[in-house]
Amino acid sequence: MVLRVPEFTLKDVKIESEKVEKEANQLAADTNAATKARMAQAKTQLAAGTVPKITAYFTCLASQLTATRATIATSYAAGETEYRRAIAEAQNHGAADEVNQLTAKMGEMFKQRDAELAKVDTQIATITQTQTRLLENIASLGQ
């Protein structure tokens, strides 16, 4: 009679659980590293395609507003020249009341000019801030 005893290996459960835990931690680390690498690649691709377009768009807007600002300043400079010519002529004719009226009107024109230029300056600042925020948001993706 042959008695067969099954063969088995008794393993230490603690050692095996540590081994499984180590393998799981390594798998998690590998997955995390791969995910970070993919996120970095996606961020780079997004930045490469988007950042130049955003920059070009906002640069165009700022250039248009800068041109508008220059046009406003030029038109008011022409008005100032006319007021100064009229004031000088009135002074030459001794018309003090007219000089005072023209000087007051020129002062009002300066206030209007300053208000219009301030509006454009505010728009330029807003565009610059918006561009900066967008680019910062893109840069912070995946962080």
pLDDT in tens, the chain (143 residues): 666 656 655 566 666 677 777 888 888 888 888 888 887 787 777 777 888 888 999 999 999 999 999 999 999 999 999 999 999 999 999 999 999 999 999 999 999 999 999 999 999 999 999 999 988 888 887 56
Tell me if 26 is assigned to some domain: no
Tell me if 23 is assigned to some domain: no
Tell me if 48 is assigned to some domain: yes
Among 27, 29, 26, 49, which residue's Cα sits nearest to residue 37?
29
pTM for the model: 0.65
pLDDT of residue 38: 81
Tell me if 17 is assigned to some domain: no
Total number of domains in the chain: 1
Q: Domain residues for 106? A: 32-139
* Separation between Cα atoms, residue 31 and residue 104, nearest integer Å: 75
Write the CB contacts of 42 (distance below 8 Å, at least 6 apart in sequence). Answer: 141, 142
Tell me if 131 is assigned to some domain: yes
Q: List the structure tokens of 11.
A: 């393993």
